Amino acid sequence: MSMLFSRDDFGDAFRWGVSTAAYQVEGAHDADGKGPSIWDDFVKRRRKIRNGDHGNQACNHYHRYTEDLALIYNLHIPNYRFSISWSRLLPQGIGAVNYKGVNFYNHLIDFCLELGIEPWITLYHWDLPLALQKKGGWTNRDIIHWFSYYVDCCIKHFGDRVKYWMVLNEPMVFTGAGHFLGVHAPGKRGLSSFLSAAHHAALCQAEGGRVIRSLRSDCKIGTTFSYSHIEPYRHYAEKDNVAAARADALLNRMFLEPLLGMGYPTQTLKVLERIERFMYPHDEKKLAFEMDFIGLQNYTRELATYAPLVPFAKAKLVNARKRNVAYTQMGWEVYPPAIYEALKRVDAYAGVKEIIITENGAAFQDVPDQGVVDDPKRVRFLQDHIAQVLLARREGVKVNGYFVWTLLDNFEWAEGYYPKFGLVHVDFATQRRVVKNSGYWYRDFLGNAPVSAQGDDPGMIRSY
């Protein structure tokens, strides 16, 4: 059974967009007074990035933003989410402002508005100034002051034209991958590094919101969370059910619940009690802030199993490649109902006022052929996930926006340029852009062309 729907089914107030991040697209890593970030440093380390790739040039969005915004305009995409490079604005992290960096973002914002595209800004998308990392970065409690200074600078320069602000992008990822596993910048490892960085990031996501609200009462404030729907690998096995709950507490609940005034989920994951070593009096209250919206970023579901040798969580995720299911270039299972389940879970929290899907998309191996990039798997992925968002919305979930990740094939962190997430193909040797068929599909959908996806049972998925 198929489900026929169109943009009209979401209503006129629903926001449709596309997302990028500064380090992944801008390039110009040392141009016009920009200071180095932790990613500028991390990519120099041997064997940290696939194929030795780096973001020094990336998509050269810094010099080609007018071309890229024209693409967004021609694809009828009304909202553009991007991030500000902290070290482009403040090369030392605090102190002197780099006005050439300010001018770049002013031009970017102004051209968005000229084209009728609403800018949505993410304040922190993982590129901490290296000067601050040398002082301890996220593990130094002074980051709360540094970050507040940066937020203040952004709002004073851009808040008169930008209505929508997101404080942090996926704090669980940048603290977990960057401070526990060491696979992302700054490459730190260990529980103490992770817990201190995580607590300070959680404080900053609330404090950043307070700074914005103190300066501009007319701004809409949010923050974004990675959220994978997590199930037990074997539903009949009690230990797998417990493992799934622990994984969910760590990956999905750890930053959301403190923001909502619920504290860290220590009852489910006891190791998180050790975060108290980094807490000062009244911190639990300071962790909370009433966001106008929550940015939800979903790509897949994960199956967790009991793993007694895994420290702390006693759980591990079962690789999609080993489960005989469809998966993307990232090795993530293609499972559209995951976004429906994530929306239902987050909407159930009393303190969540509105949800925006700030990232959803898929990486597949796209091959240009005579100026055409045919990517039917991505088209199906988008169709089926948007259909699941509509199902949740029809059931009363407060989801009011959907942003595709991402506009351009770009630098995908430790995976370099291998994964192709973009609606637009980029030849990185020539910087030539080619709109993929998925980009044209999104354009037509936003123009209200009807779409056929799977039926209204959230358990049903297409064959990939």
Q: Which residues are catalytic?
A: 170, 359
HSE-CB at 35 with a 13 A cutoff on CA atoms is 22
Distance between CA atoms of 243 and 39, rounded to whole angstroms? Answer: 33
Longest dimension (CA), the chain: 63
Distance between CA atoms of 241 and 256, rounded to whole angstroms? Answer: 21
- The answer to whether the Cα torsion of 46, 48, 50, 53 is positive or negative is negative
Nearest to 410 by CA among 68, 33, 31, 42: 68
**Which residues are CB-contacts of 147 (< 8 A; sequence separation ≥ 6)?**
124, 204, 207, 208
Q: Count the helices and strands in the chain (H runs, E runs).
A: 15, 15
- Token readout for 55 is 């973001």
Q: Identify whether the C-beta of residue 195 lies closer than 8 Å to the C-beta of residue 266.
A: no
Residue 393 dihedral angles phi and psi, to the nearest 5°: -65, -40
Which residues, in sequence order, are bridge partners of residue 229?
A: 301
- Token readout for 151 is 């937020």
**Which residues are CB-contacts of 191 (< 8 A; sequence separation ≥ 6)?**
180, 271, 274, 312
Distance between CA atoms of 379 and 74, rounded to whole angstroms? Answer: 18
Q: Identify whether the C-beta of residue 401 lies closer than 8 Å to the C-beta of residue 393.
A: no
Q: Identify whether the C-beta of residue 231 lies closer than 8 Å to the C-beta of residue 314.
A: no
Which residues, in sequence order, are bridge partners of residue 231?
A: 303
Distance between CA atoms of 370 and 365, rounded to whole angstroms? Answer: 16
Element containing residue 112 per DSSP (H, E): helix 99-114
Distance between CA atoms of 149 and 216, rounded to whole angstroms? Answer: 15
- Token readout for 181 is 């596993």
Please spell the DSSP secondary structure of 170-231, one letter per residue.
-HHHHHHHHHTB-SSTT--BSHHHHHHHHHHHHHHHHHHHHHHHHH-TT-EEEEEEE--EEE
